[in-house]
Structure 1
Amino acid sequence: MEPLIVVIFAGFVAGAMNALAGGGSFVSLPALIAAGVPPVQANASSTVALFPGGAVSAWAYRDGLGPVGSVSMRKLLVATLFGGLAGAVLLLSTSSSTFSFVLPWLLLCASLTLAFGRRLGEALRRRWRIGAPAVLAIQFALGVYGGYFGGAVGIMMMAVWGLLDTRDLKSLNAPRTLLVSAANSVAVITFAVAHAVRWPETIAMLVAAIAGGYSGAQVGRRASPALIRTGTLLVSAGITVAFFVKTYGPMLSHR
């Protein structure tokens, strides 16, 4: 199959996954690497390609924005923007070989968050409460992660906020979408200025992701949430295992 066709197909699937349950980068990033884009550029290009869908979601949720506990949205936004910038700069300073080495672990972290993040957040919420300064420090760190890689960062944010705010988690969807988009927006600008984006593949994937996002939203209205979640977890787990085998398999075989 032609590399560009793979990229377009992956963009459509990634857009649909993000509309349904998240985890689109599990498909978009490996597809770009398979199409011959170096790993660091592939991660930057994947972020740019999937950004419009997240930005549209943030706009759709704008009426639900407000403080998280005692922390104002402005403070959370500033912490996230500075963290996203730091993460993007960190990615650009990472060699492709180093990023390839740590990528399986990033995927594993995102997979575990997709699988257990909400339940872990609820369990922690029943036992602990943390103050506003700690939330802002963690929010900055999550911004760094979002700008660097970002897989499942929205779920991580909600797990942390649950230790501060007793609101229903669904009511945190608005700040989650805005702040994930904020981290991605500053990363997108940084990657573009640094010429770290492979534009032909990125534009093709971006258009396909928009179409996939629309299609995924239509499917999501009819499909079982349990089925969607199971499918997302299977895809994320399978790709994570594949990257561990690809990265560390040769090392183990030469021992």
Structure 2
Amino acid sequence: MFFQSDFASVARAAATRIATAIARGEEGAGEEEIAKRLAADARLSEAAHRERARLVAKIEGELGPFDDAQLKALLEVPRDRFVRLQDLPRAYEDVPLPLDDEGFATISAPHAYLLSFRVLSLREGDSLIELGTGSGYGAALASTVVGERGSVRTFEIDGTLAGRASRLLAERTNVQVFHLDATDSVPVWGTVHKVVATFAVDPVPHAWLAALPVGGVLVTPVGPRDKDQRLVRIVRTETEFLSSDHGGVRYVSNRSTIPPTSA
């Protein structure tokens, strides 16, 4: 039996074994090989499932209520597959974790995805645009929520992260990963009514608003890096854009080289 504190020690041991095997040349250093080793580690998988159950209870208790499908996604999707190997012991801490050494990209805290999904009213059968794929964890959660009748198109500016996400999400047939600047992604959005951004913009790009159909909803962090950011919901009506504020948040900033223009 594993308890709350056990996951970190089990994950630390697993990460050390894999890192040692890579250093000795016993296996390739590629992410596919690492992912296979993680998936095959029964002890790690059991401990991770218990941590996800604990995490679901914590987030629901502190920030709920959430839709059952959203909680189910958090319980089912293994965040440990989407973090860097060195951060494996922290996979189920409810905090953002870095995806690079420069601080440009992070995997958001688990509760942050659920907050955005709740504000967006993401449901089974929805078609979603995700702006900012990262390692693919958010897309995996969304994929589980929208189910086989739904779809997720996700856009990542960083080629290395886009490639990693594509591999991690390969078995999810309702997800498409694009290596593309999210600010300039609207030509390939297709027909969609729900859009979520995983990085902060200031201001909201006019192209995003123009691409929303009537009845469409955009949820995005708005504000400068590391301060005064708000989670904003924008709904397009026949005559205007209706905006509502859903609380303070902290996200990485837009990495686009394309200057955004406000509406």
Q: Above 0.5 in TM-score?
A: no
- The structure with the greater share of residues assigned to strand is 2
- The structure with the greater share of residues assigned to helix is 1
Task: Give the structure-2-normalised TM-score.
Answer: 0.25
Task: Give the structure-1-normalised TM-score.
Answer: 0.26
